[in-house]
Structure 1
Amino acid sequence: MKEGTPCPSPENTHSDTFKGAAFIAVWCSRIEIWIKQARSSLHLLGTVFLVYTFNSGSKLPIDRTAFAFDRLDGRHPYHLIITMVNPGKGMEDILINDIIRACLAIDAKAATIYEILSKSAEIADLKLFWQRMAMEERKHIRFWKELSRLAKKGMVPQVFESPEQVLADIRKIEEKTRELLEQSRKGPDITTGFLIAYRLEFYALHPAFETLFQSAIKLDGSRFNPEDEYEEHINHFIEAMNKYGRVTPEIELLGESLQRLWKNNKILARQSSIDELTGILNRRGFFNLVRPFSHLAQRNKYQIGILLIDIDHFKAINDRYGHQAGDRVLADVARILRENLRTSDVLGRYGGEEFIIFVAPLSPESLSTIAEKESLSAMAEKLRSKVEETTKRTIRVTISIGASYGRIETDAEKEVLRLIALADKCLYDAKEQGRNRIICFSALSPE
């Protein structure tokens, strides 16, 4: 094994400098551990600097290569180790999978902790409770394994603004969970057992967990809502904390604080992304969720669709029935749209009486743009007819829909905005032509 290659300081580094340099290929996610282990054999001293190479024209690293520099003496100021990570795989995919695997490791340790607490419990009801907690953690483990499988296929978008920081946070939690596992093996009493479990559940309230739960709802037509699953898990724990709170006031107080923290996190999450009147995503929440899915569609060459929906003559409804009735109409239309969409589609309130739907993917294997247009038009017609039919019994409502679809080739965010502009033009034409109709535009070139 070569010791390394002298090189200039990291500030003046470019990937071309290292052509032909000796390198050791290791997983970048394990570089710090590897360097610590290799430090003595490679005679490395001082501080390690990690630098990422960037593909030209891209804001994010594509082929993640970390250059580790280590100060030696005055004659050879730096030595080099190059670590390469699966050059064919994007950094975004690597980071999101690392985060998911760390979450999996945390819940795996949690399941073991609850199994240990169950075996050491002397009260029958408490033993059953810990067994139930372990069973629920095993459900979470299956969820993380499935999400990891999807991530390996490139189907999980990068949903974090600072994934490196999120990964660092989750790994710290994993280390703390390992410490809790060691404490649980010492045969704790009831109070200590609940304190261990409390810290465990407190760590699981890191925002990354809920962010992944939310994104998973839209992936692969998920059949269950992991957020609801986890909320039920938290509630079971809090109920037990309250039940056994008679043992010590401290346990009861911990249960109340955990419940308050969970509720506050939920409220803050909803306030930042949910429209209070309709219960669907607000404009900000819609674009925050669509952004990673549009990048995912770009990488996988999926076609996406945009539906812009406007309630016909909404001002007349307000004038005739009052603004409270108008609010009920908005909520009813949002509910009808939500109930008739696929789990993979993203619905939001665009503003006023307008709604927006992000449709992806649009059968990427289809052979013609005609098939895509028929698919999107059929979906739009289903929504239009459902709204008209369902509202006959109350205040009759019709909607106009502008639709567009296409493949994202370059800048994902700009091209989504372009498709929205095209759908907006179609919506304008639908209203000009009499309303209660659909107009669809293809942004694809005819093949």
Structure 2
Amino acid sequence: MKSILRLCQAVEEQAKEVYEGLAQRAADPDLASMWRELAMEEGRHREHWQMLLRSAERGQVPSLFPNEEEVEAELRSVLTRIAALRSGLDAPGNAAWPFVLGLRVQFQLLQPTLEYLLQWARRLSGEAEPKSGSEQALGRLVAAVRRCGAGPELDLACEMLVALQRQNQQLLLQSHRDALTGVRNRRGFLDAIFPLCHLAQRSGQTVGFLMLDLDDFKRVNDEHGHERGDEVLRAVARILQGNMRQSDVLGRHGGDQFIVFLSPVVAGAVAAVGEKLRLAVEEGTAGECPVTASVGGASGMLGRDVQRDVDKLLARVDACLFIARSTGRNRVVVQE
């Protein structure tokens, strides 16, 4: 991971130098200001990369990619292409040439690894739902291109880049969301909580997990059909989401199981939230197709090996859920 992070930092440093060069060469004060803003945005990203690198040096950043060598190779290719664009700053060209350079840099910065890791870093800094930096930068550049009337070809290039950026965001969202309920899937849940776990570990905060299993859900599908079963799962997801803090994270663990991450928590909080959610499900689905939930939970502090400690907490949650299911169901069992 450390080599990937260093490459990401180098890519954005090169992009910053291109924008600074364009600002220095811009005759129009407004355009010079816009290029400087883009350079400053890349400079602000440096803080995120340095924070991630420090965490990686301490062994606090898990391996986020199954194919790190391929990711490194793609980032090196991006770095080479942006360096080539930097060398073209003084190439002769018309008034549209700076926009061509800027758009080509933005195209390279749409590399998914950069955006993914930046969002990871922002969550580690405490931003619950970080915004896309590439979307904001591209928006400023596109607005400048259209304001200056750089020509139909560049207008088309802008439209294509905006569409590509939105498609990238949509694909990232789809890969992290459960299509049926709209909450995070297992991958999206883990991607969301691990930066928060590292943040809790650094600040010495206690974290908690809850796992909810809908009792005898097979009966719902058998008696009412799978379509009605899907409606129940969507309703349960809405009920859970509506009874959680904004800072907590909800995911569909699979099938009829949901998982909740709570941070920070105090003594007794996990059990109290578990009971609140259990009761909300029971009351919120009362009617033609009622369901109840068995709930297991655990809380604890995280040590230097965050991944290991999270795995241990989840194992305790699973054990508590087993007890709740095997001792009558529709109950909460928590180990704090």
Q: TM-score, structure 1 length as denominator?
A: 0.58
The aligned residue for residue 295 of structure 2 is 401
Tell me, yes or no, if structure 1 residue 439 matches structure 2 residue 330: no
The counterpart of 1:271, out of the listed 154, 170, 174, is: 174
**How far apart, in 2, do the equivalents of 1:125 and 1:133 lie?**
13
The alpha carbon displacement at 1:313 in A equals 9.5
Tell me, yes or no, if structure 1 residue 198 matches structure 2 residue 136: no
Amino acid corresponding to residue 269 of structure 2 in structure 1: A
- Answer whether contact 2:211 2:295 (CA < 8 A) is retained: yes
The alpha carbon displacement at 1:382 in A equals 3.3
Tell me, yes or no, if structure 1 residue 257 matches structure 2 residue 160: yes
- Answer whether contact 1:307 1:356 (CA < 8 A) is retained: yes
The aligned residue for residue 32 of structure 2 is 127
5 Å matches for 1:316-331? Answer: 327-331=234-238
The aligned residue for residue 382 of structure 1 is 273
More relative contact order, 1 or 2 (CA 8 Å, 6+ apart): 2
- Answer whether contact 1:159 1:292 (CA < 8 A) is retained: no
Tell me, yes or no, if structure 1 residue 339 matches structure 2 residue 238: no
- Answer whether contact 1:100 1:147 (CA < 8 A) is retained: yes
Computing the radius of gyration over CA atoms, which structure comes out larger, 1 or 2? 1
The aligned residue for residue 112 of structure 2 is 207
Question: Which SS does the other structure have where 1:337 is aligned?
Answer: coil
Amino acid corresponding to residue 334 of structure 1 in structure 2: Q
**How far apart, in 2, do the equivalents of 1:429 and 1:238 lie?**
59
| Unmatched segments (≥5 aa) in structure 1 | 1-95, 363-373, 443-447
- Cα shift readout 1:247-300 (whole Å, capped 9, x = no counterpart): 2211111111111111111222222221235433213544677799999x9xxx
RMSD, aligned CA: 4.2
Shift of the 147–187 alpha-carbon distance from structure 1 to 2, 3 Å rule, reads: farther
Shift of the 289–143 alpha-carbon distance from structure 1 to 2, 3 Å rule, reads: closer
Tell me, yes or no, if structure 1 residue 239 matches structure 2 residue 130: no
Shift of the 359–330 alpha-carbon distance from structure 1 to 2, 3 Å rule, reads: closer
The aligned residue for residue 222 of structure 1 is 126
5 Å matches for 1:118-157? Answer: 118-157=23-62
Tell me, yes or no, if structure 1 residue 424 matches structure 2 residue 321: yes
- Answer whether contact 2:119 2:132 (CA < 8 A) is retained: no
- Answer whether contact 1:384 1:398 (CA < 8 A) is retained: no
Shift of the 376–207 alpha-carbon distance from structure 1 to 2, 3 Å rule, reads: farther
5 Å matches for 1:5-404? Answer: 96-186=1-91, 189-219=94-124, 222-223=126-127, 225-244=129-148, 246-286=149-189, 306-310=209-213, 327-337=234-244, 339-341=246-248, 347-357=250-260, 375=266, 377-382=268-273, 384-385=275-276, 400-404=294-298
| Unmatched segments (≥5 aa) in structure 2 | none
- Answer whether contact 2:210 2:297 (CA < 8 A) is retained: yes
Shift of the 326–255 alpha-carbon distance from structure 1 to 2, 3 Å rule, reads: same
More helix by share: 2
Give the percent of matched residue pairs that are identical in Structure 1 and Structure 2: 28
- Answer whether contact 2:9 2:49 (CA < 8 A) is retained: yes
Q: How many residues align?
A: 316
Q: TM-score, structure 2 length as denominator?
A: 0.74
Shift of the 242–353 alpha-carbon distance from structure 1 to 2, 3 Å rule, reads: farther
- Answer whether contact 2:296 2:317 (CA < 8 A) is retained: no
